[in-house]
Structure 1
Amino acid sequence: MAAPIIETCHVACCANRTPNVLSWGRGGLIAYGTCNSVALYDPQKCVVAVLNGHTGRVNTVQWVHREDCGEETHLVSGGSDSLLIVWEAQDGKVCFKAIRSRNSPHTIFPILACGGDDCRIHLYAQCNGQFRKVLSLQGHEDWIRGVEWAYGDLLLASCAQDCLIRVWRLVAKSRTKRNAQEERTIRMSEDVFTLTQNDASSAFAVTLESVLAGHENKVYGVHWQPPVIKGGDQHQSLSLLSASMDKTMILWAQEEGSGVWVEQVRVGEVGGNTLGFYGCQMSPDGSMILAHAFHGALHLWTQSHGKEGEWSPGVVISGHFNAVQDLSWDPEGEFILSVGSDQTTRLLTPWKRMDQTQPTWHEISRPQIHGYDMQCLAMVGRFQYVSGADEKVLRVFRAPRNFVENFANISGTPLAKLLASSDTVDQPEGASTPALGLSNKAVFQGTLCNYFEIDFLCNFVCVCVSTEPPPEDHLLQNTLWPEVQKLYGHGFEMFCLASDSGRTVVASACKASKAEHAAVLLWSSTSWRQLQALPCHSLTVTQMAFSPNGLFLLAVSRDRTWSLWKRDDPATTPTNTEPHFSLYTSTRKDTAVHTRIIWSCDWSADNKYFVTSSRDKKVIVWGDCSSSEAIVTPDEPPVIRPCSSIIDVGDSATAVSFCPILCPGNSYLLAVGLESGQVLLYKWELSEEPAGASDWTRYGETDSSQSHSLTVKRLRWRPRAGRAGQGGEEEGEGSITAADSSWVQLASAGADHSVKIFNINRLAV
């Protein structure tokens, strides 16, 4: 069987901001809505599948439970696109089991409970094929946010914005009349209704079993522990889990003997400028509980073995809760930084565990939590980066020592190697953000003890050594990177950034509607001074890329043109002269090949060619086609022109990237991201007379489950061959095996809030 060309390595995504969007199946898979998709997540591994079918936000997800308590094979999702989709498992490993109906003298009345914004619970019963309203339960004093039936005992749990949980009991009424003594007995008031089906009538009564008061804010979710099969019968453990906006989950159960409902366990999040939980779920065996928060983060707690009543935080995946705008690999290809419209910068890396052969990707740091939507970033060295947001200021961040130590523990990279590749002189321990500020302030070892005295000014920083990915509350407060510099110079919001391979120059561009604001600014990464402005375009520069040798800077623009800037030869200038660029060549509106905005660009690894992609669906490779050498000759007139045939990819090409590992036979591997969310793989080979796109070969594409559900915003290849986290321990850290060298990795950022990492098999191309 041929090896697949594209494999999904990791999907970083979070839950949508809505209740009832997460469901834990008895097979162990957690299904939750993320943007317009449904993610299937295995807590022990990673996201195993993404279901794309909705065109609007997914608002509710629910597994269809089976009567035999077996593994579910059907899933229902509902979205803001007014669609309900039923998904069916078709994996050969899932065995469908037919359940025969048993003849029973009992009459079955399906009852539906609905919580309304009128503070009432409305009960509907199916009689003769039609649902009709039979009763309204009053008691809550605000909107009903969740209702759920228990199996076995007919108990209904409801929660509302009045901070209370109510447990109702449904019982069948006896047809016999009460005697005088029963009439005098004090009992709870009952709401009675009668159902008739096939000329048979039955009376039912609903009573209030208990009112649970323990939360201090709106309660958004309640969930009963799933039933299990014991001795051939279904057994329901009456444990009720609740989640609230007060950042806590409570596990309720009846006290033995008295039957009073009491709080058994309370877990939650402490600190951080966040809101609480939107919903909760319990694992099939009751050993794990999970909540999803207002900002989409998952919070997992696991019951400690041998310690009853003790729960500890677990490791889960995380992701952006809004569009991901940009991402970048570190120079060694060991971690990924991403920025998004959720105003955060996140760092993902593989986690190596001794008990597992394959590493899993996790977020281990959140270097920046901003007050503006993030737009772009560029790595400057191993542990330093520049970011831009919807503001005029660029910000420079450097990793604290605590992050370097934790990264070594989690990734398995020797600490000495990491310290040798970073500037550890006067390196702070961590960072903290003032309560009314946007800048991350450095925290040094000597000042940690004083933070208790100024806690009203800054969020307290807890510097600790981690051997596993941190939980959400730790990411929010203790993994910030200190801001070391601000760069001023642009007149409007930042749009794109780029840095050269030598990490000496950073290029930046902002939104522009006039030529005076469309100039590219160059910055020195040593002094952080502005080196020069490069005016050429009349509208926003949408993306920039330095050639791998650092001699050229390519810029593409909304004005449908590109410009190529050449760096002055260092051999002809004094050593103390800072880098200087001059215009080498450019296209004009009357000579431009692209007819719509150019979204993306990139360079080939050998510096010979660059590629552009546009909204006009065209992808073009450019270069000096008359020469087999890289574009380095300054004396000859520029002859940069299309070297490839113009290929139509069928949709707006919003992202493009050259693979840094060359293919055999002087061919190049490219990835193209589309507005539809699909990623295409092409192999391009220089041809003397390309016609009909004969120089292009389409080798692969992401299928519906691998693609983004919205626009691909950025594509970045890992700068070296192999898969991150797969380095051979015996051969030395950073080395790769022969089998792993056939793989390359591609990271993609999407407007669907996700970061995806793909493994590409070069031998299959």
Structure 2
Amino acid sequence: MEVGVERLFIGAGCNRIVNNVSWGASDLLSFGAQNAVAIFCPKTAQIVTTLPGHKAYVNCTHWLPSSKFAFKAKHLERHYLLSGDADGIIFLWEFSLADKKWKNVLQVPETHKKGVTCISAIMVSHTDAIFASTSSDGAVNVWELILPSSSGGECKLSCLDSVFVGRKPMVALSLAELPGNQGHLALAMGGLDNKIHIYSGERTGKFVHACELKGHTDWIRSLDFSLPLNTNGETSNILLVSSSQDKGIRIWKMMALHENDKKEETTLASYIKGPIFSSGSSSYQISLESLLIGHEDWVYSVEWQPPQSSLVDGTQFYQPQSILSASMDKTMMIWQPEKTTGIWMNMVTVGELSHCALGFYGGHWSPNGNSILAHGYGGSFHLWRNVGTDFEDWKPQKVPSGHFAEVSDISWARGGEYLLSVSHDQTSRIFSRWCDESSLEDGDAWHEIARPQVHGHDINCVTIIRGKGNHRFVSGAEEKVARVFEAPLSFLNTLNHATSHGSTLADDLPSNMQILGANMSALGLSQKPIYVQASPESSERKNNEGVDTLETIPEAVPVALTEAPIEEQLAYNTLWPESHKLYGHGNELFSVCCDQEGKLVASSCKAQSASVAEIWLWQVGSWKAIGRLHSHSLTVTQLEFSHDNNFLLSVSRDRHFSIFAIKQTGADEISHQLVIKQDAHKRIIWACSWNPFAHEFATGSRDKTVKIWELQNGSSVKLLMTLPMFKSSVTALSWLGIDRMRNHGLLAVGMENGLIELWSFSNTKTENGNVGVPNAALVVRFDPFMCHVSAVQRLRWRNGEKSEDCKGMQLASCGADHCVRIFQVDF
């Protein structure tokens, strides 16, 4: 059986750490998402790929050439990327522009003893880069990297120097070539001792401490050298911008001294101007040029606008006098000197409207200087583009989004219109195709269109209720209560927009829908409905209060979205109201599932004893508890109803699986009985999945095996086969039916190492009803570059069965690497 797999979508948030994002001359952005390096394209607002290899959190990434050196990158066929992680390891990646392929070129040999905190680099020529890295181990390493001039050549890496800075480590770096002095470099570093240290060195080696700049009164957070400034045809000075937790930004001028200046060196006036140091045959003086005050909180990053080509011939480049700063006060500012006075002023401010950003960790310029991007505390991106022609007009743009912690569970809408995911970042998110004729040539792209639940607990499990009626889901978190949510009118209208082509959703819209959206209560646990007709008194009363205390939560403004939303809209305005709470479990909820008709929900919680490990059954609609099933002695890790709803399968940490027969006895009554309990694996059983065509099911365990069983006559179980041992623990399974006549299906297997495999299974019965020989074969192993880099938590086919005419199916997966992925599987 021939199967092709391609990546449709990746949703992931950015690691919440400074220096994590870099904008390359290739016009792609890199960032760390757990242990992966993720690459996103700002034009399509999609994450294009993730790079596997790091074994620890990715702390920082840096493009060679970055947007700062885009003017030197016109003819490059290959771009490079450095990434450093929390174990102190730095990788170099190569990206080929022609075939869009990535490869891991090398690991920097001398690793830091602790996590890498900052990487900074300059391109000295087309093939020669110098980069420096800092770490919390107190060392700053400087390397020279010679890039291959032709394809297939080797990258040559040599260590120029390693500077030990003592017990107070450095967290910010910037490198520059000294003006008018070939081959001499300046390295600025700043950190926990509130001073900026300037080191000077040569291309060939040792860096010596030249001087230190005092002025900041708190940690230095970011440093950036400009390119040499052209004055009267001579390049004699460069500027250094620094930012700190003291909320201030300082601009320092580094000026080359001429022979006649040096005679004055000993006078008092020269010391007022600032410290002097020499490198080779030249001397330089550093003086404070300007102090920029405007941010109200720590300034995490400052960056010069990348050099732009002059209008005359396009080959001359100049450094624009323009600085971008990003701060914990939720704003980014662009600073420029005023035309007449030359005083540096804040010309543009973006971002303060959002109540949800909780501060920005860094800001970056696009190579052409017309876009700026911030990444924030919520793992989110915020992108503004200057769309004005005669005057500046900065407008927010679409960006990719996703969870910023482990994604614990996913569930498809009953018609497959969207995918719902829940995570330990305490949010649930809905991803859907967005039909947007204007922006994309290649069809629809997937986007996050709603964030129905924003909660005070890590969310562990979710299931969407099947069957007729409004969209509903049940989620379970690190609390003993399961919560039921219903889609409000604003979401149904948004979904209509998103899937507008040939959609039949409009027929499902309830005519008497009263709830427009939802608001968060002050303590952030329950989401209260907002009704279509709000009473005027309540709004008047709110206006009169006018007191902004810490307890008040911004009022949500639910509206039907007509284009894919940005972070500010998602964070508050797309909540769903909570309709019920299901009380009963003794511990934090762990797994939940719904039957095929949307009549029953089963749930389980974390358990160390048999009395707590019971499975509760709830009736959809009345939400009464109508059954408690006893069998296991430890946490039930996954539950699934059979395709005909007659059986409920559960697997547990106690290494057993159980099957319960479920029968409807009356309108509100069911009977349930334990049919079988079997010791199945040597270690925890993490996953199970029924065959959609028969009473066969698969179990997957930490013992690295997948076993396929058959339930016979509803009373006994037979082991049909055990698949060959996998390389890693099996953590997720999902069975897709392909051909009912031949009982032929595909089993997706997800592992703890992040990899996914598809196995084909068939078990044809002979004429007289005797069981044929079951057989299973590996169909495809997903390319590691498409897979997760940590444990796969859940796999879900978009529909349980493939219809006759469709050529392909979608498989969704979520993982501990913060990613939600959707694959197109073509037969």
TM-score above 0.5, yes or no: yes
- Structure 1 segment 477-488 matched on structure 2, within 5 A: 477-488=572-583
**Retained in 2: the 8 A contact 1:643–1:686?**
no
Describe the superposition over 1:107-140 as per-residue Cα deviations: whole angstroms up to 9, x where unpaired.
3211111111111111111145111211111111
Correspondence list, 1:247-646, <5 A: 247-306=330-389, 308-355=391-438, 356=440, 357-381=442-466, 383-412=471-500, 417-447=504-534, 449=536, 450-451=538-539, 453-454=541-542, 457-568=552-663, 570=664, 573-574=665-666, 576-587=667-678, 592-624=679-711, 633=713, 638-646=715-723
Q: 1:302 to 1:737 in 2, by over 3 A?
A: farther
- 1:218-257 pair list within 5 angstroms: 218-230=298-310, 231=313, 232-257=315-340
Partner Cα distance (2:390, 2:340) in 1: 23
Note the C-alpha offset of 1:608: 2.8
Partner of 1:751: 816
Cα deviations by residue, 1:91-111 (Å, 9 ceiling, x for unpaired): 54479999489xx99532111
> Secondary structure of 1:237's match?
coil
The answer to whether the 8 A contact 2:736-2:801 is kept is no
Report how far residue 737 of structure 1 moved.
12
In the alignment, does 2:214 pair up with 1:138? yes
- Write out aligned runs for 1:629-668 (5 A): 633=713, 638-662=715-739, 665-668=742-745
* Distance verdict in 2 for CA 1:552–1:273, change over 3 Å: same
Aligned residue type for 1:107? Q
Q: CA deviation at 1:325?
A: 0.4
Going from structure 1 to structure 2, the CA distance change for 1:307 and 1:622 (only over 3 Å counts) comes to farther
The one-letter code sitting in structure 2 at the alignment partner of 1:420 is D
Percent same amino acid among aligned pairs? 36
Given candidates 57, 72, 87, the residue that maps to 1:68 is 72
Which shifted more, 249-258 or 317-326? 249-258
Report which stretch shifted further, 82-91 or 344-353. 82-91
Structure 2 unaligned residues grouped into runs of 5+: 103-122, 129-178, 230-237, 767-772
Q: Which amino acid aligns with 2:685?
A: I
Shift of 1:303: 1.4
SS of residue matched to 1:89: strand
| Counterpart contact for 1:653–1:672, Cα < 8 Å | yes
Question: Which residue identity is paired with 1:9?
Answer: L
Instruction: Confirm or deny that 1:685 pairs with 2:762.
Output: yes
Query: Which residue of structure 1 aligns with residue 275 of structure 2?
Result: 191
The farther-off stretch of 656-665 and 700-709 is: 656-665
Q: After the TM superposition, which residues 730-745 of structure 1 pair with which residues of structure 2 at under 5 Å, given as runs?
A: 741-745=806-810
C-alpha distance after superposition, 1:316-363 (max 9, x if no partner): 111111100001000111101111111111111111111223211111
Q: 1:124 aligns with which of 192, 196, 199?
A: 199
Deviates more, 1:576-585 or 1:167-176: 576-585
CA distance in structure 1 between the partners assigned to 2:705 and 2:275 by the alignment: 68
Displacement after TM superposition at 1:228 (Å): 3.2
SS of residue matched to 1:318:
coil
1:577-634: per-residue Cα shift (whole Å, max 9, x none)? 43332222221xxxx231111000111111331111000011011114xxxxxx6x55
CA gap of 1:408–1:17, structure 2 versus 1, over 3 A, is same
Task: Answer whether contact 2:489 2:516 (CA < 8 A) is retained.
Answer: yes
Is the 8 Å Cα contact of residues 542 and 599 (structure 1) preserved in structure 2? yes
3-state SS of paired residue (1:404): helix
Aligned to 1:728: none
> Cα distance 1:485–1:105, how it changes in 2: closer, same or farther (>3 A)?
closer
Q: Give SS of 1:85's match.
A: strand
Specify whether residues 513 and 176 from structure 1 end up closer, same or farther in structure 2 by C-alpha distance, changes over 3 A only.
same
Q: Does 1:216 align with 2:320?
A: no
What CA distance in whole angstroms lies between the structure 2 residues aligned with 1:473 and 1:138? 39
Query: Superposition pairs for residues 712-723 of structure 1, below 5 Å?
Result: 712-719=792-799
1:577–1:476 Cα change, 3 Å: closer
Query: Which secondary structure does the structure 2 equivalent of 1:350 belong to?
Result: strand
Q: What amino acid is the match of 1:59?
A: N
Q: TM-score, normalised by structure 2?
A: 0.82
Q: 1:175 to 1:512 in 2, by over 3 A?
A: same
SS at match of 1:223: strand
Cα distance in 1 for partners of 2:523, 2:765 equals: 62
Counterpart AA for 1:226: P
Which is strand-richer, 1 or 2? Answer: 2
CA distance in 2, matches of 1:27, 1:217: 32
Q: Alignment partner of 1:474: what SS?
A: helix
- The alignment yields a C-alpha RMSD, in angstroms, of 2.9
- Secondary structure of 1:406's match? helix
2:14 touches 2:375 (CA, 8 Å); kept in 1? yes
Please give the alpha-carbon distance, in whole angstroms, between the structure 2 residues aligned to 1:545 and 1:156: 61
| Separation of aligned partners in 1, 2:352 and 2:495 | 24
Ranked by relative contact order (alpha carbons within 8 Å, sequence separation 6 or more), the top structure is: 1
Equivalent runs, 1:103-122 vs 2, <5 Å? 106-122=181-197
Q: CA 1:496/1:555 → structure 2, altered by over 3 Å: closer, same or farther?
A: same
Q: Which residue of 1 aligns with 2:749?
A: 672
DSSP 3-state at the match of 1:709: coil
- Correspondence for 1:725: none
Residue from 173, 187, 203 that aligns with 2:257: 173
Question: 750-759 or 225-234, which moves further after superposition?
Answer: 225-234
Whether 2:94 is the aligned partner of 1:7: answer no
The letter for the 1-side match of 2:273 is S
Specify whether residues 388 and 413 from structure 1 end up closer, same or farther in structure 2 by C-alpha distance, changes over 3 A only: farther
Secondary structure of 2:687 counterpart:
strand
1:26 is displaced (CA, Å) by 1.8
Instruction: State the 1:259 CA deviation.
Output: 1.9
Q: Conserved in 2, the CA contact under 8 Å of 1:434 and 1:459?
A: no
Q: Corresponding residue for 1:32?
A: 31
Distance 1:451 1:316, change over 3 A: farther
Quote the offset at 1:395 in angstroms. Answer: 0.4
Partners of 2:642 and 2:695 within 8 A in 1: no
Structure-2 change in CA distance of 1:301 and 1:452 (3 Å): farther
Is contact 1:333–1:720 with CA below 8 Å preserved after alignment?
Answer: no
Alpha-carbon distance between aligned partners in 2 of 1:647 and 1:203, rounded to the nearest angstrom: 70
